[in-house]
Chain A
Amino acid sequence: MKHLIPEFEKLRERFPAGFESSLVLPCVRRIQEDRGYVADTDIVELALYLGIPQIQIEEVLSFYTMFRRKPIGRWHLQFCHNVSCSMNGAESILAHVERRLGIKPGETTPDGRFTLSHAECLGSCGTAPMMMVNQAYHENLTPATVDALLEELK
């Protein structure tokens, strides 16, 4: 984490004084972008850096769905299966992807390329079904577009 401290210092300047605790989410997010996950040592170092209780960071990491403490596949496919996506074929597209990749939601392909997850509403209902691949939204999915996308993602 330590090499990110200059960035964190810049971030800190944007917040009013006394908002150290608020930096938890942005710092954790940045650490995860950097390392792919948040390591135990990151937690200890960030708590020390921000001067906040370590337990607060541990709570945050387990509360929010976007944070993780273990590495996952290079491409994280998160399928929305909420109302509008389900009404537009999310489950069948997910089943298609499961068959193609040979994994279920919550699993990673043996080659470490893909991790598959369920997601609840990602605010993309008008372009359902959709999935998130790492940061990016992919909308109006069909088996064909998903296949093409999976081909692209190495």
Chain B
Amino acid sequence: MAGRQLLMTFPVTATSHSLDEYRARGGYAALAKALREMKPQDVVKEVAASGLQGRGGASFEVGRKWQVVQYDDGHPHYLIANADEGEPGTFKDRWILENNPHVLLESMLIASYALNVRNCFVYIRGEFDLPYRRLAGAVEEAYAAGYFGRNVLGTDFACDIVVYRGAGAYVAGEASGLIASLEGKKSYPRNRPPRLTVRGLYQQPTVVNNVESLSNVAGIVLHGAAAFRTVGTAKSPGTRLISISGHINRPGVYEVECGYPWMKFLDEDCGGVPGARPIKCVVPGGVSSKVLTGAEIKELVLSHEALWDAGSTMGSGGMIVIAEGTCMVSLLQVILRFYHHESCGQCTPCRHGTGWMHRIIDRIVAGGGVPDDIDRLYYVSKFNDGTTICGLGDAAGYACTGILDKFRDEFEYYIEHKRSKYGGSLECLKSS
């Protein structure tokens, strides 16, 4: 177990996702506490005091986002749980949706109470089947038990929820793209200002939080911000759900206390790399975060600040381990193909930049690379950074330069010899 745990605190069984078992574990006590003992602004204060950071990728503090919403501004407010988990390498929200959906629902109820939200939404990616069925089932259970609807727990508080299914678009995971999608349109992100907390869904103040971020709220409210802060590090309170995949013996979702040693996590918790091969590099938090080499991560702990100092980010907690012998040129090809495929096409730099990078890497892989292609990839990355409407363009650039910075020699080798230094392989056979 990678440190203390806040979310994965029970054995997963065929029925552990049910309302009965959730209640048996103490579920919905936090909601009762919030509604009966706390004022809405106390809840916001508590969440702000917890220092809970967003778990979707940007690590923006949840409390600070909430504080922007004016409780009594006369507008309807909306809350959306972002369950459009699509960052390659990330599958941790799926764990919550499948195994503990009620912790999300309870947290959303508390958040709705705190933010004066009458209608909240879960935007779940369209391809998710079991997670959707589990969540939808939990919603029905919660309605039947009187947690949603009018007079929740006998109070004046009323709240309704809709589980909204996406339809296949990575960019819908971006909060404003998600809102466009939830408005029944193509998922074009919006320019800020205005912030979504000022004008979001149907131009009304809207809070969009990641599933895991929200799911921490129930515990924070029940046990207090101070208790939450005893877990993790000072700058990264709490835990992170890390979904780990790639060249690793025991892939899956792990709850890791922030500050836990990285190599210990990989070697002891995840069983190390198949065949005990050395780690070439790790994608720390989804492909949009910059890769860190095996040498770079050796002494690192898993915390927002440690990764930030190392030039990367915890991102979405989607960790991919890449063993020595893997061709980084081929890997980058997969990544750039992905961004090209997922660019919504709205703004110029990303629309053309992602395609441009994809064509360059395809040509390199096909043996048609020229030395200045590497400069060109840097050029496109540079001018996608900070020039686009949403972060997808930046992310494509980070992913690209993250790999180029550290493995430039492999690209030069490929271009010069028209073949991969490592046979073009991405696979690494699992040790049997």
Contact = CB atoms under 8 A, between A and B. Distances in A.
Interface in A81-114: 81-84, 86-89, 92
B74 interface: no
Given A63-B169, A120-B342, A24 B127 contact: no
Interface stretch (A1-9, A15-23, A144-152): A15-23
Contact of A135 (B89, B129, B185, B243): B129
A126 B338 contact: no
Contact of B166 (A18, A64, A82, A125): A64
B162 interface: yes
B35 interface: no
Contacts of B253: 126
Given A63-B169, A128-B245, A87 B426 contact: yes
A83 B334 contact: yes
A18 to B, nearest CB: 7
Interface in A33-69: 52, 56, 59-60, 63-67
A66 B128 CA distance: 12
Contacts, number: 150
Given A59-B186, A120-B342, A125 B167 contact: no
Nearest to A84: B245
A149 to B, nearest CB: 16
Interface residues of B, number: 59
B427 A121 contact: no
A123 B125 contact: yes
Interface stretch (B19-27, B44-52, B80-88): B80-88
A136 interface: yes
Shortest 3 CB-CB distances between A and B: which pairs?
A24-B184, A65-B168, A64-B167
Interface of A: 14-16, 18-19, 21-26, 28-29, 52, 56, 59-60, 63-67, 81-84, 86-89, 92, 119-128, 132, 135-137
28 contacts: A14-B160, A16-B160, A19-B202, A22-B182, A26-B165, A28-B167, A29-B167, A59-B186, A60-B167, A60-B184, A60-B186, A64-B166, A65-B168, A83-B283, A83-B287, A83-B338, A84-B320, A87-B245, A87-B246, A87-B426, A87-B428, A120-B341, A121-B338, A123-B127, A125-B246, A125-B251, A128-B251, A137-B129
